[in-house]
Amino acid sequence: MGEKKIKNIFVEGAISSQKIADSIQSHASKTNIGAHSIFLGQVRADEKDGKQVASIEYTCYQDMALEKMHEIRESIFAKYELTCMHVYHSLGNVMVGEICLFVFTSSKHRKMAIDACSELVEAIKFELPIWGKEIYQDQTIVWKENK
């Protein structure tokens, strides 16, 4: 109790491609890594009644989300032989075409990295208390629901 280190996964606004590049580059010194698997969520210009999504505004129950993410992280590390695992999720407004989720796993071999990344994405979508509000070009809103 109190020993565990809760990492923050939330970043304000969109995740830049430069942040992703920097994260990849920082793994060049870990020479036991043979495979990286990356998932990126990008805000889509969905249409509804002839109107288009302009952005998504993300909010979360931060304490609970970080606690839950900590549990997910531990269980993924227990299940897969990973060298590294990084998760970043946007809060606030993210425009269409911008990146809102960045999941990054690394392992000695490809199968571990790929399977862990895929399982992480599902857990993030269905187990973390995060909500996305689609804001249309005419300022009307629709609350998202994950499928």
Partner 1 sequence: MAITVYFFGSLVDITGQSKKELNSFSDTDALNLLLQKDYPTLISTKYFIAVNQQMIKTNHELNNGDIVALMPPFSGG
Q: Please report, in angstroms and rounded to a whole number, the separation of the first and last CA atoms in the chain.
A: 35
Which one, 34 or 129, has the nearer CB to a copy of itself?
34
CB of 134 to partner 1, least distance (A): 9
Does position 127 interact with partner 1 (CB under 8 A)? The reply is yes
Smallest separation, CB 48 to a copy of itself (Å): 14
Q: What is the greatest pairwise CA distance in the chain?
A: 52
Please report whether residue 32 would count as binding a copy of itself according to CB under 8 A. Answer: yes
How is residue 140 written in tokens? 């009307």
DSSP 98: S
**97 is a site residue for a copy of itself (CB under 8 A):** yes
How far is residue 12 from each of residues 49, 99, 132, measured CA to CA in Å?
A: 30, 12, 14
Using CB under 8 A, which residues numbered 38 to 57 contact partner 1? Answer: 41
DSSP character for 8?
P
Q: Binding residues for a copy of itself, per CB under 8 A?
A: 17-18, 20-22, 24-25, 27-45, 96-99, 106, 108, 110, 113-114, 117-118, 121
